[in-house]
A and B are shown apart, each in its own frame.
Chain A
Amino acid sequence: MNNGDNAAGPLLTGRRLVKAHGRTEALRGATVTLDAGEILAVTGPSGSGKSTLAHCLSGITRPDAGSVTYAGQRLEDLTEKRLSELRRTEFGVVFQFGQLIPELTAADNVALPLMLAGAGRAGARAAAGEWLERFGVRGQEESRPGEMSGGQAQRVALARALVTGPRVVFADEPTGALDSLAGEQVMTALVHTARETGTAVLLITHDAQVAAYADREVRLCDGVATPQGVAA
C-alpha cells in the first residue's frame, strides 16, 4: 500500500476543490498540497474559504467537486466508516476554542481519543500525563477546562490532538481567542512538538504573526489558493 512516504509526492493533496454553502461558493477550485512533516499556513481574509478548505482536507466535509488524496487514498472513495477511522487515527484537530469536554478533567480529555481507540483508562491516562507535560501543563491533570486559563486549555487541546500520534494536525485559528503571549506559547509548543514527532500541520490563520511559524504559506482569496498550490 502506498503510505505516502515512498512516493515523492505530498502527503495530502486537495485538487480543484469546489464547495458551496447554499448559494455561496466558499471554495472555487482551490488546490493545496501538504508534505509529510510540513507546517503549512493557510491565510486569507474572513470568508475566503479557509475553514471550508480545512474541513474538506480533513474529510469532515465532502467537496462538491475536486478530490482529496491522503497517503495515496482518495477520500471520496472511502466508506463513511473507513473515513471516520482515518480521521480518528491519522488526523488531529484543534479549533479556536470550545473543543474540550467541559465535564471532563484535562487528563480525561486527553485520554479520551485513546480510549475511543480501545485503550484502557489507566494506560490512556498515563499517556495523557506525558503529553500534558510535553505541552507544559503538567499539574493541570485534574482541572476542568473552565478552571484553566485560555492558553492552558488550548495546550490541553493540542495534547489531545497529538496523543494518538496523527500524521496531520489541522489547527483552525488555534490562538484566535488568546492574548499574544499565550498565543506565542501555544504556537511554540505546537511547532516544537510537530517538528519533534514529524507531524504535518495545516495551520489556518488570519494572523501573519501566527502564519510566520509555518514553513510555507498558501493564501486563499475568494475560494482560490495562491500562489503555492500544485499546478492545476
Chain B
Amino acid sequence: MSILDSKIPEGPLADKWTTHKNNINLVNPANKRNIDVIVVGTGLAGGSAAATLAELGYNVKTFCYQDSPRRAHSIAAQGGINAAKNYQGDGDSSYRLFYDTVKGGDYRSREANVYRLAEVSANIIDQCVAQGVPFAREYGGLLDNRSFGGVLVSRTFYAKGQTGQQLLLGAYSAMNRQINRGKIQAFNRHEMLDLVKIDGKARGIIARNLVTGEIERHSAHAVVLATGGYGNVFFLSTNAMGSNVMAAWRAHRRGAFFANPCYTQIHPTCIPVSGDHQSKLTLMSESLRNDGRIWVPKRKEDAEAIRAGKLKPTQLSEEERDYYLERRYPAFGNLVPRDVASRAAKERCDAGFGVNKTGEAVYLDFAAAIQRYGKEKALTSGIHNPSAQQILELGEKVIEDKYGNLFQMYEKIVDENPYKTPMMIYPAVHYTMGGLWVDYNLQTTVPGCYAAGEANFSDHGANRLGASALMQGLADGYFVLPYTIGDYLSHDIRTGKIPTDTPEFDQAEKEVTERIQKLMSGAGTHSVDYYHKKLGKIMWNKCGMSRNEKELKEAIDEISELRADFWKNVKVPGDANGMNTELEKAGRVADFLELGELFAKDALNRNESCGGHFREESVEQSGEQKGEALRDDVNFKYVAAWEYKGAPKEAVLHKEELTFDNIELKTRSYK
C-alpha cells in the first residue's frame, strides 16, 4: 500500500465535506489565542486564509516578498471566478461544476476535493459581495455571468478584465481588518528561505528581510504555504517576475512530497514573444474567446505574404480563413479547454500557417462580434436602418465595455489597434497544476505544513479550466483550511509558544546562511538571468507543449549540467547585508534548477498524454479522435508524488491511485 493517505472521508460524495466538518476537532476560542500560525504568501489563498484564521482567533503572521500583500500575483487574474450559482437558470449545479472540473482536468484530480470545491463555490460569491467586491452587474442590479472554456453553462462571475484584482483587494481588505485588530502581523518584503521542523512537525520558518538582509527566525504551531505556482521555471511566462518555487521547494527538501510537477498549463491566448529582450509574457484573458474567433489563413502562401508584410489579415475573405478550432471541435468551437486550444495553435504554426514575423502567432478576431453586437445594439436602441458605420461604432462600444482594459493593454504592447485588425496571440506558460502533495485536509506530508491555492496539486488534475484558479484559492483560504487546520491544532492547545532558540532553528539558520554565502562566492562569469534564460529555453523546447522520451532525457542531463555550472560560476554582485535583488533572484533560480529536473523526470515517467501533458508517443491512431491526446488509465491513473532524496535524479516516486466512483472515465471529447 502507498504511504500516502489522502484521508478522504467516508460516505457519499455530496455528504463528505459536511460529515467531515461535523466530525473534526475544534479549538475553543480561548485556546486559539495561544496558537500561532504562519502564512507564507498573501495572494487569494494566503490572504483569505490569513484573514479567516485571524478572525477565528489564531495569532497569524503573514510573509510576502512584495512590499504589500495587495501586490501578490493573484491580482493579475483577468477573466473571472466560477461558481455553481445557477443564476442564469441554464442547468448549473455543484455536480455539473464538479463534473466539468474533473473532465476538464482529464480525470487526474481527486473526486472528493473537486466536489468540495464545487460545493463551496457558491458561497465564495456571497462572501465577496458582502465584502464589497464590485462584480459586474446587469441593469436590474443583479450579478452578471459569462462563459469560459470547456463548459456549456454561464457560471463565471467577473469584474471586467480585473476580477483577480478585485478579489485580491477583497481578501486584502479582510486582512487589513485583522491587522487593525492586531491579529495579523504582516511581514512584507520578507522571503521564506527554509522550513523548520521539530520532532517531525513544521514549527516555523527562516525568513530573510529583503530590505536589511537580516535572517530571521519565526515559530508557529503550523505553517501554511500559499506561495503560488512555479511557471517561472520557463523564464518566460505570464507569472510575475518574482513568482518563485522557493518556499514550496524548501518544504519539499524537508520532506513534503511534490506532486505531478509536469502538469503545466500553457495558456492559448497570450501576446506573442517580440524579441530576445523579452522579460515576461502578457496574457489576454480567456474571456476573449467568448467573442473572438481564432483563425489562420487557409493557404500557406497567404500566411507567408502576411509574415512578409505584403498582405493584411483584413484583406482575406471568410473563405480564405481557417477557423481551425470551429473546424476541429464543432461542439465547443473557440471555447475548447486551454490545453486543446494551445496544441491546436502550435499545430497550425508548426505546419507553417503562423501569422507574425516569427511564425508563432494566430489571429483572435473580433470583427464578427462587433457586427453582431452592433446590430443588436442598434435594434435595442430603436435605430431601424443603421448604417454600416453606425453598426461598427455601436459594436465597438459594446466590446469596449466588456474588454476595454484588455484591448488597451494589447494596443500598448503591440502598437496595433485590435478593434480594427485582429489580435495576434500565441500560447504561453501560465499556471502549474502540479504542486505540493496534500491530503483532503490540505496538509502536506510534513505534519503541520499545509499548502493552499496554486501551491498545492489537488483540484485541477492535468489541466485547469478557466476561472477556476480564483475559485480554488478562495475556497482553500476562506472555507477549507480554517476548518481542517483546527483539527490538527486541537492537539496543540497545551504546547505553548514554540521557542526559536533551539538546535533545530540553529541548524536551519546555519544552512540558510551557508547557502547565501555560497551564492555570493560564485566565480562570477555569468549573471543569474543568463542561467534562468538558459533553463527556460531547455524547458520550453523539451518540456513544453509537446514532449517525447528522447528530449526529456536530454533535458534532464542539460538541466543537471546547467545547475552544476550555476553553482560554480554565477555572479551575484553587492553583499548580503542589505537589499540585494540579484541575490534574491539567485536563490530562486537555484531552486528552479532543481525543480526543472524533477519536472522533466516526472514528464518522462508519465508516458501518456493527459491534459496539459502531451507525450508524442501517446496519440490516438484512428477514428474520430485521430491525432488527439491518448490517456492511459490502466497505467497512469495516479498522482505522482515525489520524495526528495538529494539530487532530483534520486527522487523517489510514490503513487496515489485515483478512484472514480461518481464519474465514468471517458475520452475527453470536445468535438
Partners in one complex: no
Report B's interface with A, CB cutoff 8 A.
none
Report A's interface with B, CB cutoff 8 A.
none
